[in-house]
Chain A
Amino acid sequence: MNISEKNINSYTILSLQGILNASSAPQLKTYIAGLPDAQSIVVDLENVEFLDSSGLGALVGIARRKKTSNAVIKLARMNERVKKVFEITQAYTLFDIYDDVSAAAEA
Chain B
Amino acid sequence: MKTLIVIKKQEYEWLLDLFPGVHPLLLPICNKPFIEFFVDFSIFTGSNAIRIVSDGPLRDVERYCENGSRWGVEISYGSMLPADELHSVIDKNRRFCQEERVVIISGFLFIHYDKKSDYASLFASLPSGELFSCGRGSISLTGTPVVETNTTTGASPFSLTALDSVGKYYRLSMDILKNGLTRYVLPGYSSESDCYIGRNVVIPKSAEIKKPVIIGNNVQILSNSVIDKNSVIGSNVIIDRESVISGSIVMDNTYIGEHLEVKDKIAAGNLLIDPESGTTIVMEDPHLLTSMAQSKVAGTLLRRVVHALAATLLIILQFLPWFLLRPILGIQGNWKRDKGQYHTGLPGKAFTMTKTTIGNNGPLCAIAKALSLDRFPLLFRVLSGKLLLIGSQPVLINPATRVIPNSMSGYRPGVFSYAEAEDWPEIGIDTEIVEHYYAVHGNPLKDIAMTQKALFNRTH
Contacts and interface: CB of A to CB of B under 8 A. Distances in A.
A4 interface: no
The main secondary structure of chain B at its interface with chain A is helix
A53 B77 contact: no
Contacts of A85: 437
Contact of A99 (B81, B92, B429): B92
Contacts of B430: 60
Contacts of B91: 98, 103, 106-107
Interface residues of A, number: 29
Interface string B89-133: 001111110000000000000000000000000000000000000
Contacts of B59: 87-88
A99 B58 contact: no
Interface string A51-94: 01110110011001000000000000000000101111111111
Interface string B71-95: 0000001111100000010011111
Contacts of B175: none
B95 A87 contact: no
Size bin of chain B's contact surface: 20 to 34
Contact of A87 (B58, B92, B423): B58
B276 interface: no
Contacts of B438: 53
A100 interface: yes
A90 to B, nearest CB: 6
Residue among A52, A60, A102, A104 with max Cβ neighbours from chain B (10 Å): A60
A19 interface: no
Contacts of A94: 429, 433
B62 A87 contact: yes
Contact of B94 (A64, A93, A98): A98
A93 B96 contact: no
Interface string A27-69: 0000000000000000000000000111011001100100000
Contacts of A88: 59, 436-437, 439-440
A50 B438 CA distance: 16
A57 B420 CA distance: 12
A5 interface: no
B208 interface: no
B425 to A, nearest CB: 8
A106 B59 CA distance: 29
Interface centre among A64, A96, A107 (most CB of B within 10 A): A96
B455 to A, nearest CB: 17
B63 to A, nearest CB: 10
Given A87-B58, A88-B440, A60 B433 contact: yes
A99 B93 contact: yes
A93 B79 CA distance: 8
A54 B422 contact: yes
B321 interface: no
B278 interface: no
A102 B59 CA distance: 27
Contacts of B439: 88
A60 B430 CA distance: 8
A53 B434 contact: yes
A103 B58 contact: no
A68 B209 CA distance: 64
12 contacts: A54-B422, A56-B437, A57-B424, A60-B430, A83-B77, A87-B57, A87-B77, A89-B434, A93-B55, A96-B92, A99-B93, A103-B95
Given A88-B437, A94-B429, 10 more contacts: A60-B424, A83-B77, A87-B77, A89-B436, A96-B92, A97-B79, A98-B93, A103-B91, A103-B95, A107-B91
Interface of A: 52-54, 56-57, 60-61, 64, 83, 85-94, 96-100, 102-104, 106-107
Which 4 pairs, one residue from A and one from B, show the smallest C-beta to C-beta distance? A92-B79, A103-B94, A100-B94, A89-B436
